[in-house]
A and B are shown apart, each in its own frame.
Chain A
Amino acid sequence: MGGLDAVERGPLPSDASATSDSGSAAGESDHPSVAALRAKFGDAIQGDTVHAGDQTVVWIDPARSLEILTWLKDDPGQKYDMMSDVTGVDYGGGRPVEVVYQMFSTTHKRALRIRCKLPLDALEIDSVVGLWVGANWLEREVYDLFGVTFKGHPDLRRILMPQDYAEGHPLRKDFPLRGRFSRAEQTRRALAQDVERFYGPEELVEGGAPQQVAARSEPAEGEG
């Protein structure tokens, strides 16, 4: 292969067989869970596609996400008992923020990706901590970095950024790479923080104050 045409044509997959079902040329999924989901939940399944060759992605209605995910975990034909990953994607430009669930079934040895589109003015979705305990920190991270509220989460606080971080949610596209404040202001705030302020004895009581801490740590400018 050579010639300048290649520059215009863009990269070609080396393996010809991968061309037909990779990337944007999304084909119909033959994943057994997709048909079952469509039969069971109908309209709540907003779409499905195959990405990256063999990875099935299903978009579901966020209002019914808990119901669908509960079924996916408990139904003997699905048994997605391992929640590998919960994360968010912000495409920017006012498009919805998406919450992505990556699941794996250790019984049937197959993976499934569920995505939920959340409009920017209603960034909330049901928590799945009741189903998979491992989702606890993953959801906290999505809350911290994207500002998505998980309803029913037992301990929804910031996890990576300081509790009183006032600049917003860093992985949103409207957040500048170097933060909103000047470096001097960031340094001053960092040194002024008292590392013992959070996680006092009263805040460690289960089901108590953590929610208040989360409420306190909401950014002042108000995320929309």
Chain B
Amino acid sequence: MGLGDLLPGGGTQKSEGGLGMFGAGSPTFLTTKIDEVINWGRRNSLWPMPFGTACCAIEMMAAAASNFDLARFGMERMSFSPRQADVLICAGRVPYKLAPVLRRIWDQMPQPKWCVSMGACASSGGVFDVYSMVQGIDTIVPVDVYVPGCPPRPEGLIYGLMMIQEKIRQESLGRHFEHRAEDPALVAAPRADEEEIVGLTGPFGNSTHQEKLADGRIVRSPDPNDDVPV
């Protein structure tokens, strides 16, 4: 067995976009695209930064523990320091008080970096459509993969991370700056502009926003945007 067997598109057969190897049975050198080999390395040694806050963090721990064993996918090392991490797993609710912390951790992570938003609360605020909660962390940091669920099962998280791996596989070094551009002026500014945030977080017609009056009439509670003090 040569090295090529271990590589994507392995063996001596040269495959489209894969790795090829000359001289069957004598693995002296191989040819490939630089994108392929770099992405292969990146996606199989992801170091997650677990930003766990609530229930999802427990499922994230379960994913790392014996039964599900995240290490099988090259995520052996949970990096609790953002400086040595590749993937931010935001697991759980993020209140506004925590928002600058999340943002700072994202800013501290070196490029290239990816972000998984785990669970309903991190992705959209979930049931917590209230005064203290960020309505989706995509208003603060760019998100690559959303994992739905409340909380998602460990399999869900693992699948989400495998989608990150798939995303990495399709990246190209040549378009690095296009993919990874960050404006230093935007540090500590909302990622989305005002209109987008209001659009993302607008109330939807669940019972929370409806009030039943004493005379039996049902009214919609006033839009919070009307309540901005002048």
Contact = CB atoms under 8 A, between A and B. Distances in A.
Residue with the greatest number of chain B CB neighbours at <10 A, chosen from A162, A175, A221: A162
Contacts of B104: 195
B139 A176 contact: no
Contacts of B135: 183
Given A184-B194, A191-B188, A221-B229, A176 B131 contact: yes
A8 interface: no
A57 B188 CA distance: 50
Given A177-B221, A184-B197, A187-B139, A194 B130 contact: no
Interface in B24-51: none
B134 A190 contact: yes
Given A176-B222, A178-B129, 8 more contacts: A167-B131, A176-B224, A176-B227, A177-B208, A181-B228, A182-B224, A183-B197, A187-B140
Given A170-B131, A187-B190, A162 B103 contact: no
Interface residues of B, number: 33
Interface of A: 161-162, 167, 170, 175-195, 220-221
A167 B130 CA distance: 13
Interface of A is mostly: loop
B65 interface: no
A170 B132 CA distance: 9
Contacts of B17: none
Nearest to A189: B96
A216 B8 CA distance: 61
B100 A190 contact: yes
B150 interface: no
